[in-house]
Amino acid sequence: MRDNALLNQQQHDTELLNLLPKAMKDDPTAEKLASFLDKISYKKIPTSSFSRMWLLGSLHTKVTAGYLAYWLKSRFADEDKKNRLKNEAHLAAALQLFGTMGYLRGAVLKVGQALANLPELLPDQFAEILDSLHFEAPAMHYSMIREVFLDEFGAEPEQLFAKFERKAFAAASLGQVHRATLHTGEEVAVKIQYPNIAQTIQADVRSLRLLLQTLRFSDQWASLHAKLEDIEQVLLQEADYLREANFYQQAAEMFSNPDEKIIVPKVFIEFTRQRVLTTEYLQGVHLQEFLAQEPTQAQRDAFCHLLNISSLRPYYQRKWCIADPHAGNFIFMPDGCLGLIDFGCIRVLNDEEWRLNCELEQAVIEDDEAKFEQILAKASYFDSPADMSAEHLALLKKFSLWAFAPWKAKGALNFGEKDFYLNGMDCFIELMRKGYTQGDPVYLWSNRFILGYRVMAYRLRGSAVLSTIFQQERPFRYPH
């Protein structure tokens, strides 16, 4: 058993090293960093549930820590040796702190592309990692669930429901999901939040802000600071299940026509509180299981079509940026319907952000290059495109054109085409590697929105005719 564990550990080490950026492996100081990372990764604390919270236990978490280290280190690359060493000492302390943060690792994972670089990853690995970028709250046993219910409803689960399964059937961001049956007979999914998560998020973001203090004199500090504020806000909103229930209800209004085959489960508001969310249970499977059934191309295309509608309608009708689209949030139902089961991480664009996005979209559609460049510069906190380096501007344009490619595609666009997918991912990764991350915090979420859906559609290997979807979903037309 022990040998197996050791073997697994070694495999993990190798995988981790393979995943780490090459530059980090070649750089002698990075070796020190890697060994430090290694040391804190295996700091042993007695129980497994502890390890989930306190150790850099999973491969993905280790990779993220690695990227965080790499990203922080790259900020110091141009400094002299003395300063670099000083900064590396800060970095070691930062990583130590990072290793002890209960939930922040999840937060960093969630916004991985903004706070930690993801360079040198193969697109498939990127897809896999992006898919697992969510908060991992520790498991709750049933006695704890009962206490949450007593706090929230003043009643035990058995009193509220005709049947309540003691074991969770799925992990959720910030908690876990149990199946239950209402006294009226409906099958429901009950999402329960781990106690005190909102306060923990606040404490962790405070710690992160502190550990990033070493960057306070850098030119990106203001942008980073604004992003942290935004991240904290969105994560805290995600911890409010009453807010999520409201998003569910709005989404249900948007997708009320059953012929459209997009299903938003009904919320049972009388069984919902700030930390408990009860929704209709949807029969079906997640993406991986759906793909394992070897679906036909027609089935893949049909779901790809639904996936696009499910993202674009909330965007155009309610200015929603669904900021955490991953496989766990979609149900592929047996009757060909697509179930949408998570509305926790939604960033609603404000008027200014919306106006800028619309202008950008219009500039792309109308091939107005000057306007396009001007808006990109503004979004990246530059006065004009002339203030940006040629490389920065070129990369940003390339990525934005890729993001908007479906808007301009004629006929069906094959999202499963590797070249198309690679084109965008490479470009995004390059932007991150070069440190071209300065910009309005909203792009943290819109990037996740775009990348998340692209990853899903790529894995689905589906095609969709976007022009029809835009015609149907976009409530306005641009003058041409």
Least distance between other proteins and beta carbon 125 (Å): 21
* Out of 31, 79, 124, 151, the residue judged to bind other proteins by CB under 8 A: 151
* Out of 4, 26, 28, 47, the residue judged to bind other proteins by CB under 8 A: 47
In DSSP notation, 176-238 reads EEEEEE-TTS-EEEEEEEPTTHHHHHHHHHHHHHHHGGGGTTSTTHHHHHHHHHHHHHHHHHH
Residue 39, both tokens: 């040391």
Q: CA triplet 31, 36, 41: central angle to 5 degrees? A: 125
Q: Which residue has the tokens 């070249």?
A: 419
Would you count residue 478 as binding other proteins (CB under 8 A)? Answer: no
Residues 6+ apart with CB under 8 A from 313: 254, 255, 473
In whole angstroms, give the CA distance from residue 360 to residue 357.
Answer: 5
Residues 6+ apart with CB under 8 A from 476: none
* Out of 77, 93, 122, 150, the residue judged to bind other proteins by CB under 8 A: 150
Q: How many CA atoms lie within 13 A of 63 on its CB side?
A: 28
Would you count residue 17 as binding other proteins (CB under 8 A)? Answer: no
Would you count residue 147 as binding other proteins (CB under 8 A)? Answer: yes
Residue type at 393?
L
* Out of 18, 196, 297, 389, the residue judged to bind other proteins by CB under 8 A: 196
CB-nearer residue toward other proteins: 21 or 106: 106
Residue 245, both tokens: 């229930």
In whole angstroms, give the CA distance from residue 170 to residue 337.
Answer: 21
Least distance between other proteins and beta carbon 4 (Å): 15
Least distance between other proteins and beta carbon 244 (Å): 18
CB-nearer residue toward other proteins: 199 or 472: 199
* Out of 9, 11, 14, 199, the residue judged to bind other proteins by CB under 8 A: 199
* Out of 9, 10, 48, 293, the residue judged to bind other proteins by CB under 8 A: 48
Would you count residue 143 as binding other proteins (CB under 8 A)? Answer: yes
Are 273 and 184 in contact by the 8 Å Cβ rule? The answer is no
For the chain, how long is the longest CA-to-CA vector? Answer: 70
CB-nearer residue toward other proteins: 70 or 135: 135
* Out of 25, 32, 141, 206, the residue judged to bind other proteins by CB under 8 A: 141
Least distance between other proteins and beta carbon 198 (Å): 9
Residue 350, both tokens: 């404000």
Least distance between other proteins and beta carbon 178 (Å): 11
CB-nearer residue toward other proteins: 168 or 363: 168
Cβ count near 190 (within 10 Å): 27
* Out of 36, 96, 138, 382, the residue judged to bind other proteins by CB under 8 A: 138
Least distance between other proteins and beta carbon 14 (Å): 24
Contact positions vs other proteins (CB under 8 A): 46-50, 52, 138-144, 146-148, 150-151, 156, 166-168, 171, 176, 194-196, 199-200
